[in-house]
Structure 1
Amino acid sequence: MKHIAILIFATFLASCGSTSEVKSNKTQTINKKWELSVLNDNKISNNKPIYIDLSENGIISGFIGCNRLNGTYTIENENQIKFSQFAVTRMACEQRELDLENQILELLKTSSNFTIENGELNLNSENNKSIAKFIEMSKSEIVNKYWKLVTLDDKKVEMAPNQEREQYFILRSDNIFSGFAGCNQFSGAFELKENHKIRFDENIRVTMKACLDDNINEQDFLKIFTLADNYTINGDTLILKTDKNATLAVFQAVYF
């Protein structure tokens, strides 16, 4: 009987140790940079990736669309999470950016628990409904940067008189790329491979806006993504190349 009691007690201790380890692993798993992918069932697309960084010491920081965020968070019972003590910078932002930021702050305040599966972080409400989905931010040096077109076919690119903004593209952590072709917005899928290989899906979605300036080289710009096979990067300069290593275009990273 004494041996049975000792065995039960030892099993109890082992069980306690196992629970502690699971909790530790959960905490370690969440301590990453997470890019916002879906908010209230709506896919998020922004010129600059929106993300939160959850550190091991209970500090949350990040970028929420126009302003930077700092605060604290706590985790209990393995997956119950609470965010608090927010501090937000006060940049001059567009109203749509402020509206999105308010939604993000509200989701953090109302988050009750989380799940992590297949590299995705779901923040859930008290009734376990997903209110936001994040993906682990890519560590690639070309992802999550704003790449401004500098040269195309060895020619320096100048903005047309009626052009809204410079031509650019962004690669996101969820393998979606998007940008501005000179008059229309575009988006599609991409894949990074070993040895600086890159593949853009040929099914690029482009808006159908009526363009006033014939000097904007939209088709030439979009053709880059069809022909691109690999890239080189040197600091803030990105070069997309063909499968024969001929230069298609040169881009410069822009930081806001």
Structure 2
Amino acid sequence: MKTKLIPILLLTISAISCTTQKKLATETASKSEMEIQASLTDTQWILTELEGEKVDVDQGENKNINFLLNSKDNTFSGFFGCNTGFGSFILEDGNRIRFTNMGTTRMACPDMTIEESQVLEAFHLADNFTLNGNTLSLNVGRRAPLAVFKMAEIQKDLITEKYWKLKTLEGKEVKMADNQEREIYFMLKTDENRVVGFAGCNTFGGEYSLEEGNRIRFTQLLSTLKACPDIAVSEAEFLKVFELSDNYTIDGDTLMLNVGRRAPLAVFEAVYLD
């Protein structure tokens, strides 16, 4: 009787082992898909090649054809050389992607070197993507890529060690109150990646990190606790900007802190101190 039980027991253990291995393989594949999708979203992608033709990239001017996928609400937005665009996207297993509900502004730019219609057609046709390090290709089927993009590089010198004065908050112009000690501002210090600033009544500080794709994160924010009831700008609203923002846009001496690609949470102007 015991002799018969041993093979049955071995078969049972083998079956359990196979099931466990299949489960682990599925979980690993699922995790890999999630990691790929996380690398794809919430970062700025700059066009470098369209239908096999190289595209000039000018990082300094921030006028490159680019787009960003917002993971929070599955919307996307971009700049296509003349007009800005927007819409929705769907990511599925197997590196599949679809762009839907696309729309653009309707400015006329006759001197463009690239046809916007070609760029938009790439988004309309794409049904899958290839992600290789910092390079993203939008494809249809298994043909040559429709368009190739690179992840925006980190350019710390454009944003760090500058005095950024608040100009607008949630779309409203900011004016300094008569009883305000100084203007609202912040600075990103390169030593230990510290952020310091003044919120209208209290000083604040914390940490920040910059990542490729114009991504930015603020953490460990603390402020002093003075009471200033007559300040025109809500300190809570201002500090909320640092809690929410996940990317930035910079154009010369103008800096915008954003969440996804919605309207800027706050706009700042660089002030150069003697």
**Match for residue 139 of structure 2?**
124
1:142–1:70 distance in 2 versus 1, CA, 3 Å: farther
Structure-1 separation of matches of 2:31 and 2:49: 30
Unaligned 5+ segments in structure 1 are 144-234, 238-252
**Match for residue 3 of structure 1?**
13
Structure-2 separation of matches of 1:104 and 1:79: 20
User: Cα offset for 1:97?
Assistant: 3.4
Identity between Structure 1 and Structure 2 (%): 27
Is 1:73 matched with 2:84?
Answer: no
What letter corresponds to residue 13 of structure 1 in structure 2?
K
User: Cα offset for 1:98?
Assistant: 9.3
Native 8 Å contact 2:51 2:147 kept in 1:
yes
Native 8 Å contact 2:81 2:114 kept in 1:
no
Q: Where has structure 1 moved over 3 Å in runs of 4 or more?
A: 96-99
What letter corresponds to residue 134 of structure 1 in structure 2?
F
What letter corresponds to residue 113 of structure 1 in structure 2?
N
**Match for residue 130 of structure 2?**
115
**Match for residue 55 of structure 2?**
44
1:77–1:96 distance in 2 versus 1, CA, 3 Å: farther
Q: Per chain length, whose mean CA-contact separation is higher, i.e. which structure has more relative contact order (CA < 8 Å, sep 6+)?
A: 2
User: Cα offset for 1:118?
Assistant: 3.0
What letter corresponds to residue 68 of structure 2 in structure 1?
D
Structure-2 separation of matches of 1:87 and 1:97: 19
Q: Which moved more, 1:95-104 or 1:62-71?
A: 95-104
2:146 counterpart SS class: strand
Is 1:13 matched with 2:29?
Answer: no
RMSD across aligned positions (CA): 2.7
Structure-2 separation of matches of 1:90 and 1:141: 33
Structure-2 separation of matches of 1:141 and 1:72: 31
The match for 1:35 among 30, 35, 46 is 46
Residues 159-203 of structure 1: per-residue CA shift (max 9 Å, x gap): xxxxxxxxxxxxxxxxxxxxxxxxxxxxxxxxxxxxxxxxxxxxx
Structure-2 separation of matches of 1:115 and 1:37: 15
2:102 counterpart SS class: strand
What letter corresponds to residue 34 of structure 1 in structure 2?
W
Native 8 Å contact 1:22 1:78 kept in 2:
no
Structure-1 separation of matches of 2:102 and 2:111: 21
**Match for residue 99 of structure 2?**
83
1:69 counterpart SS class: strand
Residues 183-237 of structure 1: per-residue CA shift (max 9 Å, x gap): xxxxxxxxxxxxxxxxxxxxxxxxxxxxxxxxxxxxxxxxxxxxxxxxxxxx729
Is 1:97 matched with 2:148?
Answer: no
Structure-1 separation of matches of 2:157 and 2:45: 17
Give TM-score, length-normalised by structure 2: 0.49
Structure-2 separation of matches of 1:141 and 1:97: 30
**Match for residue 61 of structure 1?**
77
Native 8 Å contact 2:75 2:89 kept in 1:
yes
User: Cα offset for 1:76?
Assistant: 1.6
What letter corresponds to residue 128 of structure 2 in structure 1?
N
- Based on CA coordinates, which of the two structures has the bigger radius of gyration? 2
